[in-house]
Amino acid sequence: MARLLYIELIKTFLKKRTFIGFAIVAVIVPLIEIAMKLEGGRFLQATTRSLQQDFFLVGNLFNAWLVSYNMMNSLWVHIPLLISFVAGDMLAGEATAGTYRLILIRPVSRTRILLAKYAATVFYTILFVFFLGALSIGLALPLLGRGDLIVFQHGILILPESDVAWRFLVAYLLAAWMMLTIASLAFFFSSFVENAIGPIVGTMGVLIVSFVIMSIPVELFESMRPYLFMYYTNIWQKVFHDPVPWETLWKDAAVLGAYSLAFLGAAWGIFVRKDILS
């Protein structure tokens, strides 16, 4: 199995497509952070000025942690798109290239090939989210300085700096877990089409429809929300609550995991039966 995973990683990481996501993040993140730096606290000052009068706030609230926190909030559309680029190509790319005919005639079960491909997808997704995290924090710290983290969720919460780093670590883990569900969806779409456009469009379509359902305040839709995996997009934000609602967090993470497994299972069901006609 290690051998199969190794060749899947080679195939994935020698492909240009894989680096599109990394390249875009490597441009966007510095761009946003430099813009933040130049525009400076103005963005925050508007919101904090009134607070500053009511509370006794010290130090630099417009800092690396806040910018990184907001970064995660604002990229929820872009990251799934970039991830579906790679995950959606995992299987469909072999159909497009005609290379299914090369690999699926070997004496290895399709199940093992599928699992190796899924493992490569997991690896890519985690690497990508942590690349985003490391770049975002790593660049922001020297650029914008440190300080306490102010978060606006159900009111205002100020987390002392000493209490922040581990929350980011867990948050990125949860974000990766969430993105894995999206990657699994793209992987599933990838199992029954012949090129990667379908999975990318399909994944984005599901995202958009989910968000429409979630944002229209109709009772029917509201009752559907807990069943949509996109409902848990912001799962990582809960790490910045105080105290952290661990119980809900685990439950949400379990739902996401179940979705990922279901998508993988569906992809498997299709892949092992599939007639290779490409």
Partner 1 sequence: MSSDVILQTSNLGKHFKRRWAVRHLDLEIHRGDVFGFLGPNGAGKSTTIRMLLSLIRPTEGDVFLFGHSLRTQRQLALKSVGGIVEKPDFYLYLTAYRNLEVVGALNGGTTKRRIFEVLDLVGLGQRAYDKVKTYSHGMKQRLGIAQALLSDPELVVLDEPTSGLDPQGMKEIRDLILHLSRAQKKTILLSSHLLHEVELVATRMAIINKGELVTQGEVKKLLDEGEKYVLLSGEPKKKLELLLRTQRCVQKVEEQTDGFRLAMEFSDIPQLTRTLVRNNIAVHAIIPRRSLEDYFLSLTENDGKL
* Residues in contact with partner 1 by the rule CB under 8 A: 3-4, 6-7, 10-11, 14-16, 97-109, 113, 273, 275-277
Which helix (H) or strand (E) segment holds residue 105: the answer is none
Nearer to partner 1, 108 or 158 (CB): 108
Nearer to partner 1, 106 or 154 (CB): 106
Q: In the complex, what is the shortest distance from the CB of residue 263 to partner 1, in angstroms, rounded to a whole number?
A: 24
Nearest CA to 88 out of 191, 6, 209 is that of 191
The answer to whether 86 and 121 are in contact (CB under 8 A) is yes
Q: In the complex, what is the shortest distance from the CB of residue 75 to partner 1, in angstroms, rounded to a whole number?
A: 28
The answer to whether 278 and 194 are in contact (CB under 8 A) is yes
Q: In the complex, what is the shortest distance from the CB of residue 109 to partner 1, in angstroms, rounded to a whole number?
A: 6
Nearest CA to 160 out of 270, 59, 32, 52 is that of 59
Residue 31 CB: number of other CB atoms within 10 A?
Answer: 10
Nearest CA to 260 out of 87, 127, 78 is that of 87
Q: In the complex, what is the shortest distance from the CB of residue 238 to partner 1, in angstroms, rounded to a whole number?
A: 41
| Rounded distance between C-alpha atoms, residue 83 and residue 71, angstroms | 17
Which helix (H) or strand (E) segment holds residue 59: the answer is none
HSE of 127, CA atoms in CB hemisphere, 13 A: 14
Nearer to partner 1, 121 or 181 (CB): 121
The answer to whether 197 and 132 are in contact (CB under 8 A) is no
DSSP label of 196: T
Nearer to partner 1, 4 or 90 (CB): 4
Q: In the complex, what is the shortest distance from the CB of residue 272 to partner 1, in angstroms, rounded to a whole number?
A: 10
Q: In the complex, what is the shortest distance from the CB of residue 252 to partner 1, in angstroms, rounded to a whole number?
A: 38
Nearer to partner 1, 11 or 78 (CB): 11
Nearer to partner 1, 207 or 267 (CB): 267
Q: In the complex, what is the shortest distance from the CB of residue 102 to partner 1, in angstroms, rounded to a whole number?
A: 6
The answer to whether 211 and 230 are in contact (CB under 8 A) is yes
Nearer to partner 1, 134 or 276 (CB): 276
